[in-house]
Amino acid sequence: MAYRSSRYQEPEEEEKRPRRRPQKAGPPIVPILALVVVIGGAVVVARMAAKQPKPDNTPKPEVQADEIFGGLAREEPPVPGQRGGGRATTNRAPSGIADNAVWIEALHKADQAAELMTIAKSAKAEGNHSGWNENANKAKALYNQALEDTALWEEELTEEFGDTDRQVRDIVRIRNKWFKMLDTLLKTTSR
């Protein structure tokens, strides 16, 4: 018979196939080894902790401040009302640096802008929004022009005399007020 079913196999063919090995019975080795390593580590840490000296709880003798800082001069407290955040003010710049023609012209523009702002605020209080926008935009242009005209000059002064010079600080403080006014106008006016 040429047709053979896979169900009916001859005994010779079964012997040729490899047999599956039986599994070993017993506990798994990897978890047991991990447990042994953890226990061994705990024993080593405990022994090391036992060998370390215990901290000394006796109070230390009191040390006087004169013993530590004896060679330093006594510092005076800051004068109330003195500004500068601890930075000393210098007078490196020659007197009269604010007599610069560009600076004087910028001061005049800022004064005109302040007058326009007063007019603009009163127009806004009266409910005249077009008067507010018109005058506030003129003031905005004047503040902007004053800042642009003096930007390079302020930078040169800061480079030459430093930002701790009294006159330079005054100029920077005034220009910062102009920046704040311009920023407020940029936020509150239409174009």
The CATH number linked to 142 is: 1.20.58
- Residue-wise pLDDT for 37-87, tens only, equals 999 999 998 888 877 777 777 777 777 766 676 677 777 776 666 555 556
What's residue 108's pLDDT?
94
Phi first, then psi: give them for residue 108, nearest 5 degrees. Answer: -65, -40
Average pLDDT score over the chain: 81
Position 160 scores a pLDDT of 86
- Position 55 in a domain: no
* Mean per-residue pLDDT, 115-120: 92
The pLDDT score that the predictor gives to residue 166 is 86
Do 70 and 120 touch, CB atoms closer than 8 A?
Answer: no
Structural domain of 126 = 98-188
Does residue 109 lie in a domain region?
Answer: yes
Q: Is residue 24 part of a domain?
A: no
78 in a structural domain = no
DSSP state of 79: P
Which among 85, 84, 98 is positioned nearest to 175, based on CA atoms? 98
36/71: higher pLDDT: 36
State the average pLDDT over residues 154-173.
Answer: 87
| Domain presence at residue 57 | no
Q: Within a domain: residue 25?
A: no
Q: Which two tokens stand for residue 173?
A: 């403080």
Q: Please provide residue 90's backbone torsions phi and psi, each rounded to the nearest 5 degrees.
A: -115, 170
The residue that leads in pLDDT, 68 or 110, is 110
pLDDT band for 13, please (50, 70, 90 cuts): low
In a domain? residue 19: no
The answer to whether position 110 is within a domain reads yes
In this predicted structure, what is the pLDDT of residue 138?
Answer: 92
Q: Which of 20-24, 42-46, 163-167 has the lowest mean pLDDT?
A: 20-24
The reported pLDDT for the residue numbered 143 is 92
Q: What is the pLDDT of residue 82?
A: 59
Q: How many domains does the chain have?
A: 1
Nearest to 171 by CA among 118, 80, 122, 110: 110
Q: Out of 34-38, 69-73, 95-99, 163-167, which region has the weakest mean confidence (pLDDT)?
A: 69-73
